[in-house]
Amino acid sequence: MVARPALRAATRIARRQPVASTYSSHNFCTSTPTLRPSTASSSSTRDSSNGSTRTTHFGFQDGISESEKTERVAGVFHSVAESYDRMNDLMSFGWHRIWKDHFVSSLNPGYSSSIPPKPQRILDVAGGTGDIAFRMLNQSHVVNANPNIHITISDINPSMLAVGKQRSLSLPAAQQATLSFLEADATQLPATIAPDSLDLYTVAFGIRNFANIPAALAEAHRVLKPGGVFACLEFSKVGNPVFDAVYKRWSFSAIPLIGQLVAGDRDSYQYLVESIERFPSQDEFRGLIEDAGFVVGGKGYEDLTLGVAAIHKGMKPL
Ligand SMILES: C[S@@+](CC[C@H](N)C(=O)[O-])C[C@H]1O[C@@H](n2cnc3c(N)ncnc32)[C@H](O)[C@@H]1O
């Protein structure tokens, strides 16, 4: 992964464009005291690239082709699908529920200032077993009393989607009627998702697994409407060195062990902690979001639990 902060900053300044007031007209909260300009378009290639055989990393292993990473990630999530929800609780002491609740309430899907409310189309990418989409359905149908939304859970992995579909059967019928499932690679969304068609794109704990993150961000930008919001919840970097040392010790020793004991799969959970370590810092990831053409507000992200996870948001300019 090659960071080019100086070049990126220069490009951003060269392409500076007025964006003020664009956030205020939008439904999804992007918490933004100040707005920062961004490049007009494009995915930069932070993964090393040489023509057709682009390489990336898989956990701590470098020089892995993007197609091999995609296959190996698929293997991980086929393997963990059945135990995924239970393991999430064990590994995070239940914190992932609080982060997900906060993520969804900060986006407030279904909220609309117009009467009747405008329909909202939402894509939950790497939606897996449905944790984010189900919360968004509840926020819209119950909290905002607005059933006029449609959420698609998309994921590359049919095993994760199968668990999500099964879980969705316990949702109220009205919520099920506004939910659909799609097997798709986030780095190459299908043509059925038209350009400029979505109000909100969410991705939670998925993007660090993608073989080509800039390509996925470019796809997010393509399918969102002008004014649409990209929102990502992902593991991130802990700022406090003491807490970071404790957290890393826990991650690298306990999580693979819990994976082995509970799910019978040490390697997949070893990959999961390594993938967290390899994911860019909050500021680097904000740079990738800006490179894809989104505008971000303020510092562009919100740390959760001292940076164990972070929420990044960006808006496609109007
Ligand atoms: C850690 S799970 C997160 C699931 C869910 N969003 C949540 O927060 O509980 C990561 C998900 O990313 C999916 N994934 C990995 N690579 C993907 C890709 N290229 N395109 C779409 N989904 C992908 C996996 O199949 C898996 O379901």
Whether ligand 1 lies within 6 angstroms of the CB of 123 is answered as no
Q: Which amino acid is at 6?
A: A
Find the distance separating the first CA and the last CA of the chain, reported in whole Å. Answer: 31
pLDDT tens digits, residue range 201-244? 999 999 999 999 999 999 999 999 999 999 999 999 999 999 99
Mean pLDDT of 274-284: 95
Give the DSSP H/E element, type plus range, for residue 232: strand 224-235
Q: How much is the pLDDT for 203?
A: 98
Q: How much is the pLDDT for 52?
A: 57
Whether ligand 1 lies within 6 angstroms of the CB of 133 is answered as no
Q: How much is the pLDDT for 28?
A: 60
Mean pLDDT of the chain: 85
Residue 263 has pLDDT above 90, yes or no: no
Between 170 and 16, name the one with better pLDDT. Answer: 170
**Nearest atom (ligand 1) to Cα of 185:** 20
Per the CB < 8 A criterion, the answer to whether 118 and 25 are in contact is: no
Whether ligand 1 lies within 6 angstroms of the CB of 66 is answered as no
pTM given for the model = 0.85
Structural tokens at position 302: 């919100």
Cα–Cα dist 269/261, whole Å: 11
Cα–Cα dist 205/128, whole Å: 10
Per the CB < 8 A criterion, the answer to whether 226 and 25 are in contact is: no
Nearest CA to ligand 1 atom 25: 157
Whether ligand 1 lies within 6 angstroms of the CB of 204 is answered as yes
Whether ligand 1 lies within 6 angstroms of the CB of 127 is answered as yes
So where are the chain's domains?
Answer: 5-315
Whether ligand 1 lies within 6 angstroms of the CB of 296 is answered as no
Q: How much is the pLDDT for 38?
A: 33
Q: Who contacts 246 (Cβ-Cβ below 8 Å, separation ≥6)? A: none
Q: What percent of the chain has pLDDT over 90?
A: 65
C-alpha 313 – ligand 1 centre gap (Å): 18
CATH number 3.40.50.150 given to 5-315: yes
Whether ligand 1 lies within 6 angstroms of the CB of 160 is answered as yes
Residue owning tokens 């470098």:
62
Q: How much is the pLDDT for 60?
A: 86
C-alpha 50 – ligand 1 centre gap (Å): 26
**Nearest atom (ligand 1) to Cα of 85:** 9
Q: Who contacts 29 (Cβ-Cβ below 8 Å, separation ≥6)? A: 106, 107, 108
Whether ligand 1 lies within 6 angstroms of the CB of 187 is answered as yes
Structural tokens at position 21: 């007031």
Of 202, 205, 221, give the one whose Cα is nearest residue 121. 202
C-alpha 208 – ligand 1 centre gap (Å): 9
pLDDT tens digits, residue range 169-191? 999 999 999 999 999 999 999 99
Of 51, 225, 86, 81, give the one whose Cα is nearest residue 158. 81
Spatial strand order of the sheet with 198-204 comes to 179-183, 149-155, 120-125, 198-204, 224-235, 309-315, 301-304
Mean pLDDT of 284-290: 98
Between 225 and 89, name the one with better pLDDT. Answer: 225
Mean pLDDT of 52-70: 86
Q: What is the DSSP letter of 191?
A: T
Q: Which of 66, 134, 160, 183 to mutate to test the pocket of ligand 1 (most atoms within 8 A of CB)?
A: 160
pLDDT tens digits, residue range 110-139? 998 888 888 999 999 999 999 999 999 999
Q: Which amino acid is at 302?
A: E
C-alpha 292 – ligand 1 centre gap (Å): 20
Residue 45 has pLDDT above 70, yes or no: no
C-alpha 96 – ligand 1 centre gap (Å): 15
Per the CB < 8 A criterion, the answer to whether 74 and 157 are in contact is: yes
User: Counting runs of H as helices and runs of E as strands, what totals does the chain give?
Assistant: 12, 11
What stretches of 31-155 show up as alpha helix (H) in DSSP? 66-80, 84-92, 95-107, 131-138
